[in-house]
Amino acid sequence: MDCLENSERFFINGQWVSPSAQDQKDIINPATEKPCGRIALAHAQDVNRAIEAAHAAFEAWSTTTRAERLEVLGRIPSLYQRRAEEMSRAISLEMGAPITLARESQTPAGLAHIEETLDALRHYKFEECEDDILIAHEPIGVAGLITPWNWPMNQIACKVMPALAAGCTVVLKPSEIAPLSAIIFTEILHEAGLPAGVYNMVQGDGPVAGEALASHPLVNVVSFTGSTQAGIAVAQAAAPTVKRVLQELGGKSANIIFPDTDFADAVERGAQDCFGNSGQSCDAPTRMLVPHELMEKAMDIAAKVANGLRVGDPADSMTELGPVVSASQFKRIQALIEEGTAQGAILAAGGVGRPEGLAQGYYVRPTVFGHVTSDMVIAQEEIFGPVLCIMGYADEDDAIRLANGTPYGLAAYVQSGSEERARRVARKLRAGTVTLNGAAWTVKAPFGGYGLSGNGRECSRFGIAEFLETKAIIGYGADSKKQ
Whether 168 is catalytic? no
Alpha carbons 231 and 237: distance in angstroms, whole number: 10
Alpha carbons 10 and 292: distance in angstroms, whole number: 55
In this structure, what are the phi and psi dihedrals at residue 392, rounded to the nearest 5 degrees?
-95, 145
In this structure, what are the phi and psi dihedrals at residue 336, rounded to the nearest 5 degrees?
-70, -35
Alpha carbons 224 and 238: distance in angstroms, whole number: 11
In this structure, what are the phi and psi dihedrals at residue 60, rounded to the nearest 5 degrees?
-70, -45
Alpha carbons 362 and 327: distance in angstroms, whole number: 6
What is the strand order of the sheet 454-455 is part of?
15-17, 10-12, 199-201, 169-173, 142-146, 221-225, 244-248, 454-455
How distant, in Å, are the alpha carbons of 141, 223, 315, 466 from that of 220?
5, 10, 41, 12
Residue 229, Cβ neighbours under 10 Å: how many? Answer: 10
Stretch (H or E) spanning 224 = strand 221-225
Whether 191 is catalytic? no
Q: Cα 351–282–4 angle (5° rounding)?
A: 95
In this structure, what are the phi and psi dihedrals at residue 94, rounded to the nearest 5 degrees?
-80, -30
Residues 6+ apart with CB under 8 A from 5: none
Is residue 90 exposed (0-12), middle (13-18) or buried (19+ Cβ within 10 Å)? buried
Residue 436, Cβ neighbours under 10 Å: how many? Answer: 16
For residues 178 and 12, the answer to whether their CB atoms sit within 8 Å is no
Q: Give the DSSP letter string of 97-148.
A: --HHHIIIIIHHHHHHHHHHHHHHHHH---EEEETTEEEEEEE-SEEEEE--
In this structure, what are the phi and psi dihedrals at residue 182, rounded to the nearest 5 degrees?
-65, -35
Are β-strands 142-146 and 169-173 bridged in parallel, bridged antiparallel, or unpaired? Answer: parallel
Q: Which of 116, 176, 248, 458 is catalytic?
A: 248
Alpha carbons 183 and 166: distance in angstroms, whole number: 23
Q: Which of 158, 282, 389, 459 is catalytic?
A: 282
Q: Give the DSSP letter string of 285-326.
A: --EEEEEGGGHHHHHHHHHHHHHH--BS-TTSTT-SB---S-
User: What residue type is 172 in one-letter code?
Assistant: L
Q: Catalytic residues, which ones?
A: 248, 282
